[in-house]
Amino acid sequence: MPAEPPQESHPSHAHRIAVLGAGVMGVGITALALGHGLPVLLIDTDQDKLDRAGDAIDHELRIAQLMGTLPPDVRTGPLETATTTGGIGGVTAVIEAITEDTGLKAKALAEVSARVLPGTPLISNTSSIPIDELAGCAERPEDVIGTHFMNPPYLIPTVEVIQGARTAAATMAAAGELLTALDRRQVVVRDAPGFVTSRVLHPMINDAARVVQEGTATAEAVDALMEGCLGHPTGPLRTADLIGIDNLVDSLRVLHQHTGDDGCRPCDLLLDKVRRGELGRKSGRGFYDYQEEN
C-alpha cells in the first residue's frame, strides 16, 4: 500500500486555559500555550492592554519559532480576549498572572473560583506570595496551586510547582498534565514565602543592585563577574531588567514582610528606578538601555 502523506499534528484540545492578566508574564504564558496548540482566553480589565498584548504575543511566537522552542508540527492555538471573567466557565485551568499584590490576586482567585467547575486548577503564577494564603480566598482551597513560570516562558523549560497545604492531589495531577502538554519540566516544592527560586534569586539581585548603589562596581562589571566567575547565565542585573524592576521590588517587599529578612528590603537604587519608570526591558530602560529594541 502507498504510504499515507504526513499529517499535521493537532492537539487533543483536552485543555482550554484562561490567563488572567495581559502583562509581561500573562503574555508570555499565553504565547507558550498558543504555540503548543492550546486555546487560550486572555482576560484583562484594560482593553488597551489587551489590544497591545496581541502584538506582543505575535512577537514572542515569532521569536520562539525562530529559536526552535515550540513544536514545529503543531498549529498555533486560537486566542480569545475579554475584559471580564463572564466566559470563563468552560475552561480546564486558570492561570493567574496579575500584579504581585496579595489583595488583587486573592480577589481574582475568589472571583474565578465562583465561576469555574469544581476541580478546575486555579494556578497562581506568584513569585513570592505563599499559596495557602491565596487559597484561603477561593471557594475551594484544594483547587489552588502555584506554578512559577520564568520569563520568557517559551525559552525556560523548567517550572517551579508549589503545593500548598490544602492543594488536592487531583489538582497536582491536573496541573501536571497541563505542564506536560506545554512540554515543561516540573519541579515540585513545598509552600513558603518566595518558594525556592525567588527566595534565593531576589535577595541576590538586591545585593547586586546595592553593590552598584555603593559605587563598588558598575552594573556591567557586576554582571560580567557573575557570568564569568560564577556561571550565572545572564547576570543578576540583566535578570532584574527581564523580571521587571517593579515586579522585583514587589516580590522583595512580600519576602521582607513574611520573613523579616533585611536582605529582602528593596535597596534605594531599585526604589529610585521604579520611581523614575526605569523598569527594565518592558519600559525600554532599567540597568541597561533597550530603547532601540523597543
pLDDT tens, position by position, 3-38: 333 333 334 458 999 999 999 999 999 999 999 999
Together in a domain, 112 and 232: no
The total of structural domains in the chain comes to 2
What pLDDT sits at residue 184? 97
Closest CA to 56 of 125, 153, 128: 153
What pLDDT sits at residue 33? 98
Together in a domain, 160 and 42: yes
Strand pairing partners for 95? 19, 123
**Element (DSSP H or E) covering residue 146:** strand 144-148
C-alpha 129 chain-centroid distance? 13
Together in a domain, 147 and 210: no
Give me the domain span that covers residue 252: 197-282
What pLDDT sits at residue 17? 97
What pLDDT sits at residue 261? 96
Domain containing 242 — which CATH number? 1.10.1040.10
Together in a domain, 87 and 216: no
Sign of CA dihedral 221, 215, 281, 161: positive
Encode 5-18: b = buried (16+ Cβ within 10 Å), e = exposed: eeeeeeeeeebbbb
CB 73 within 8 A of CB 183: no
Domain boundary among 190, 223, 248: 190
pLDDT tens digits along 208-255: 999 999 999 999 999 999 999 999 999 999 999 999 999 999 999 999
- Flag whether 272 is in a domain: yes
Sign of CA dihedral 238, 241, 245, 251: negative
Together in a domain, 221 and 159: no
CB 172 within 8 A of CB 144: no
What pLDDT sits at residue 10? 38
Together in a domain, 148 and 269: no
Residues lower than pLDDT 50 in the chain: 1-12
Together in a domain, 95 and 112: yes
What pLDDT sits at residue 292? 74
Domain boundary among 190, 222, 252: 190
Together in a domain, 174 and 28: yes
Together in a domain, 50 and 173: yes
- Flag whether 294 is in a domain: no
Together in a domain, 181 and 223: no
pLDDT tens digits along 208-217: 999 999 999 9
Contacts of 99 (CB under 8 A, 6+ apart): 21, 23, 105, 250
Domain containing 166 — which CATH number? 3.40.50.720
Domain boundary among 190, 211, 235: 190
Together in a domain, 276 and 138: no
Residue found by looking up cell 496581541 in the block: 54
For the whole model, what pTM was predicted? Answer: 0.90
* Pairing state between β 144-148 and 122-124: parallel
- Flag whether 11 is in a domain: no
